[in-house]
């Protein structure tokens, strides 16, 4: 299955991606994760991306489209893929269509995790991430089962994202909300859009996602 997860920052894309990847064994391709890895390694890409990410802005399309094209050309995506955080603009959506046509890996469905925007800042401010495996937690809504130990890999070191600071969050949400409606329309018109209610608890959101994936598989 070739899938894309849509949703505003904090909607739960990364959280649901972990569950989808475990259940369906397809690679998770998150442009945000790719940029954070490049920033941690201080590569040329990382240095460039950081100047935008720190302000809550989008990284320019030419940079972002390039890393996605390279990633989708890799053989592990032949069994399917789960895009997360890309595309975020209409130009990126057109670029993705061109890339997936060229590679003969067209999207089968877009899952939109719909969440009331008022609750997103709260989700982002409580988010923490395992330094080793990238699993995502929330201090109130999704704590680790054993305090200070990652449920997935047992790591004890976690980090908070720099861009989850309230100053950056405000601009990130503004930028992303503006882009969201036209993108939803874009995929709706192409009969690829499936919306799930992301205001529910994490496991209930996943049940809704699974129902959608069952219809896409048939």
Residue positions annotated with a catalytic role: 13, 88, 127, 161, 172
Selection from ligand ADP, ligand AMP, none that 38 binds (CB < 5 to 8 A by kind) is none
d(CA 150, CA 140): 15
Name residues contacting ligand ADP, limited to 136-155 (CB under 6 A).
Answer: 136-138, 141-142
Name residues contacting ligand ADP, limited to 10-29 (CB under 6 A).
Answer: 10-15
Burial 8-19 (b: 16+ CB within 10 A, else e): bbbbbbbbbbbe
The pattern of x and - marking residues 14 through 33 that bind ligand AMP according to CB under 6 A reads: -----------------xx-
Strands 127-130 and 109-114: unpaired
Match 């995502």 to its residue by tokens.
136
Selection from ligand ADP, ligand AMP, none that 92 binds (CB < 5 to 8 A by kind) is ligand AMP
Q: Is 172 annotated as a binding residue?
A: yes
When asked if residue 6 is in the footprint of ligand ADP (CB under 6 A), the reply is no
Minimum separation from the CB atom of position 84 to ligand AMP (A)? 7
Q: Binding segment for ligand AMP among 18-26, 81-89, 96-104, 144-152 (CB under 6 A)?
A: 81-89
- In this structure, are residues 107 and 3 in contact, taking their beta carbons and an 8 Å threshold? yes
Bridge partners (DSSP) of residue 5 are: 84, 111
Nearer to ligand AMP, 28 or 152 (CB): 28
Q: Is 13 annotated as a binding residue?
A: yes
Minimum separation from the CB atom of position 7 to ligand ADP (A)? 5
Burial 168-205 (b: 16+ CB within 10 A, else e): bbeebbebbeebbeebbebbeeeebbbbbebeeebeeb
d(CA 60, CA 179): 14
Nearer to ligand AMP, 87 or 198 (CB): 87
What lies within 8 Å, CB to CB, of 157 at 6+ separation is: 130, 131, 132
DSSP letter at 149? B
Residues of the shown chain interacting with ligand AMP in the complex, contacts defined by CB under 6 A: 9, 31-32, 35, 52-53, 56-59, 64, 85-88, 92, 163, 172
Residues of the shown chain interacting with ligand ADP in the complex, contacts defined by CB under 6 A: 7, 9-15, 123, 126-127, 136-138, 141-142, 198, 201-202, 205
């Amino acid at each position: 299955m070739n899938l894309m997860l849509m949703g505003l920052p904090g909607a739960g894309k990364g959280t649901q991606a972990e569950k989808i990847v475990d259940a369906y064994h397809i690679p998770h391709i998150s442009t945000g994760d790719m940029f954070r890895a490049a920033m941690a390694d201080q590569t040329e890409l990382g240095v460039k991306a950081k100047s935008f990410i720190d302000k809550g802005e989008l990284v320019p399309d030419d940079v972002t489209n390039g890393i996605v094209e390279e990633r989708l050309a890799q053989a592990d995506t032949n069994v399917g893929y789960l895009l997360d955080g890309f595309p975020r603009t209409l130009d990126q959506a057109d670029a993705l269509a061109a890339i997936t046509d060229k590679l003969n890996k067209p999207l089968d469905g877009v899952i939109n995790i719909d969440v009331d925007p008022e609750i997103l800042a709260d989700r982002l401010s409580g988010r923490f991430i395992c330094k080793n495996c990238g699993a995502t937690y929330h201090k109130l809504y999704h704590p680790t089962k054993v305090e200070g130990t990652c449920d997935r890999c047992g790591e004890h070191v976690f980090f908070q994202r720099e861009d989850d600071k309230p100053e950056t969050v405000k601009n990130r949400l503004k930028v992303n909300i503006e882009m969201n409606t036209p993108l939803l329309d874009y995929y709706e018109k192409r009969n690829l859009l499936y919306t799930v209610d992301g205001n529910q608890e994490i496991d209930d959101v996943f049940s809704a996602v699974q129902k959608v994936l069952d219809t896409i598989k048939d």
